[in-house]
């Protein structure tokens, strides 16, 4: 008995303890639960990492879209501001042009309504003042139709033709925008050319009026319109007034209107001649610079000759109608031609001035030596 108990103790000391089946089941369940937890943690961590990587992309795309919208809004604001600035600049320039035209043209109206000419005397035996009164061959309304509407129609037709030829040659016309509307290039050119033309016409007219009211020369029909009466109820038929320069007189003006009595002192220079020659000479210069139609070699020169003849006939009619002396017509024509030449060459862009390649004075010693060498060669 004792030997058998000893053998059991020896076996218990050398052999590991056996677990019961219930403990083994419990251990197995615990291991499975821990494995499942580890798997779940791994899946959650991978999902979180994926979400972490996707979230910045969504945020960056949203930021990019917001920045693009802001940039587009800024560009639209800048474009709108630029258009407003352009519109203001165009309105300012047009308003300034109109103001300048009014500054030149308004004194003409003042002269016509309230002007009082210089009171010049006369000699009773001055035969140049004894012509009869006659209606004008070229009336004032005819003069303004000829001098304003004909140039306007010609300029409009030429600029339209120039624009058509430019497009036919493949040259892209310059576009102009105002208040959101596209303005054709020919309309801009018409505005420029007609504006300069109108400025010159007003300047020529004002120059003539200043001379008229400053000099106060009597017209050839002065005696017929005024019918002067001197102190003592005498007239030019009285021998006492012969060979005397008479300044103290009154006009009876039988059959004469107040306008005729005012105009009888405005002979020098001729306003009809001045206006007609300015408009027609300027129109001839305009055709020389802008008319490029090659259908006929002589058409442009025929039109130029025709316009000059219109001015010439208008000027000659003022002498034959006894409205002006020949010197009045000559002076008025000279004023009109001079204004046309000055405006066409120095105010308008019909004949752009070429830049000088060489200065008038030497700028360096090399230029001076070249001038001396050229002088020696010429001598």
State the catalytic residues. Answer: 272, 324
Using CA atoms, how far apart are residues 336 and 207, in angstroms rounded to an integer? 10
The answer to whether the beta carbons of residues 185 and 175 sit under 8 Å apart is: yes
Give the residue from 156, 143, 158 showing the smallest Cα distance to 278: 143
Please name the residue that has the structure tokens 């030429």: 158
Phi, psi of 359 (to 5 degrees): -75, 160
Q: What are phi and psi of 252, to 5 degrees?
A: -70, -40
Q: Are 121 and 247 in contact (CB under 8 A)?
A: yes
DSSP-derived secondary structure letter, 346: I
Q: Please, is 86 exposed, middle or buried when counting C-beta atoms within 10 Å of its C-beta (0-12, 13-18, 19+)?
A: middle
As a whole number of angstroms, the distance between CA 111 and CA 155 comes to: 30
CB count within 10 Å of CB 301 equals: 14
Radius of gyration for the chain, computed over Cα atoms and rounded to the nearest angstrom: 50
| Sequence-distant (≥ 6) Cβ neighbours of residue 229 within 8 angstroms | 235, 249, 250, 251, 252
φ/ψ bin of 216: left (φ > 0), alpha (ψ from -120 to 50), beta (otherwise):
left
- The answer to whether residues 291 and 165 touch, using CB atoms and an 8 Å cutoff, is no
Beta strand pairing status for 250-251 and 181-183?
unpaired
């Amino acid at each position: 008995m004792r030997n058998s108990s000893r053998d059991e103790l020896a076996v218990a000391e050398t052999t590991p303890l056996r677990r019961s089946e219930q403990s083994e089941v419990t251990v197995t369940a615990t291991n499975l639960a821990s494995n499942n937890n580890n798997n779940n943690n791994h899946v959650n961590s991978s999902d979180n990492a994926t979400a972490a990587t996707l979230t910045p992309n969504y945020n960056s795309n949203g930021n990019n879209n917001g920045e693009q919208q802001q940039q587009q809004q800024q560009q639209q604001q800048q474009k709108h501001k630029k258009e407003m600035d352009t519109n203001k600049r165009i309105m300012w320039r047009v308003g300034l042009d109109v103001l300048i035209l009014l500054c030149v043209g308004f004194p003409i109206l003042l002269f016509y309504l309230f002007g009082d000419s210089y009171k010049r005397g006369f000699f009773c035996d001055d035969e140049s003042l004894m012509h009869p009164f006659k209606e004008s061959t070229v009336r004032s309304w005819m003069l303004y139709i000829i001098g304003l509407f004909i140039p306007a129609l010609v300029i409009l037709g030429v600029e339209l033709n120039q624009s058509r030829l430019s497009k036919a040659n493949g040259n892209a016309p310059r576009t102009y925008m105002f208040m959101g509307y596209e303005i054709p290039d020919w309309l801009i050119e018409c505005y420029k050319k007609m504006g300069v033309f109108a400025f010159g016409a007003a300047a020529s007219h004002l120059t003539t009026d200043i001379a008229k009211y400053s000099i106060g020369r009597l017209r050839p029909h002065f005696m017929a319109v005024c019918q002067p009466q001197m102190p003592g109820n005498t007239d030019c038929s009285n021998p006492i007034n012969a060979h005397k320069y008479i300044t103290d007189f009154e006009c009876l003006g039988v059959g004469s209107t107040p306008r005729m009595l005012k105009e009888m002192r405005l002979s020098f220079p001729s306003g009809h001649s001045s206006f007609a020659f300015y408009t027609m000479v300027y129109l001839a210069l305009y055709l020389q610079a802008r008319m490029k139609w090659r259908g006929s070699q002589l058409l442009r020169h025929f039109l130029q000759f025709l316009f000059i003849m219109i001015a010439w006939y208008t000027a000659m009619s003022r002498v034959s109608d006894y409205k002006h002396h020949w010197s009045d017509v000559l002076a008025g024509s000279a004023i009109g031609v001079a204004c046309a030449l000055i405006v066409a060459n120095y105010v308008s862009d019909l004949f752009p001035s070429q830049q000088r390649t060489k200065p008038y004075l030497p700028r360096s010693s090399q230029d001076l030596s070249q001038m001396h060498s050229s002088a020696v060669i010429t001598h």
